[in-house]
Amino acid sequence: MNSILRNDKYCTILEEEEDMFSDVCTNDGKKLWEYGIVPYVFNDNVSDELKKLVMEAMKRITRVSVIKFVKRMNQRDYIKISDKGKFSSYVGRIGGKQNLHVTKDEIRWPNTVGSVMHELMHALGFYHEHCRPDRNEYVHVGRTSRNYERFKESDVLCYGPYDFESIMHYSEKQGVMLIPGVNARIGLYVSPFFLFLLLPSSHNNIFPQLK
């Protein structure tokens, strides 16, 4: 693995996202949250209304996974959630305070909870589905920015088959098209749940010290 990782960059969503999940993850254990516990704090600029939406997004993830979001006490590593008029997050744990940006703009992002979930998934260590090493077998990506880079197999862990309907998958409007012969819905984010996190054999692979 390269010493400079792609997941040191910000990943920013382009349009609305729904409330479902992905299955392509960093394979760098240092980027994962121990025991699946993610401490967080809110910036003072986050309104009470937006806080409730963020908390709902957290609940939807914890209901179907081993993840726990907890209010920060004195933990060294944590996410600071701020309203910056956009959605963005680092991929995985970077150490110390790390920013996660959210907002409430129903014109640009009609599903605020889904958009927050997308960024929380990034913070947990998950990439965009259309960046999987095997993506060329299913979709054509017509853009070249960092949100569209295809990863090498050595850089990520992929769980399960390619998920066209992942919350982490961009839509056709965002420059990701099905290749001829592939019949699927894309970018609709209707996958049922985070299957691999429900499998005991996978827990140790995703979150260190989780037994």
Give the active site residues. 119
Three-class SS string for 72-128? Answer: CCCCCCEEEEEECCCCEEECCCCCCEEEEEECCCCCCCCCHHHHHHHHHHHHHCECC
Q: Helix (H, G, I), strand (E, B), or coil: what is residue 189?
A: coil
Q: Which sign, positive or negative, has the C-alpha torsion 164, 168, 172, 176?
A: negative
Residues 6+ apart with CB under 8 A from 145: none
According to DSSP, residue 150 is labeled P
Taking each helix axis as running N to C, give the angle between helix 48-63 and helix 112-124, from 0 to 180 degrees, rounded to the nearest 10.
Answer: 60
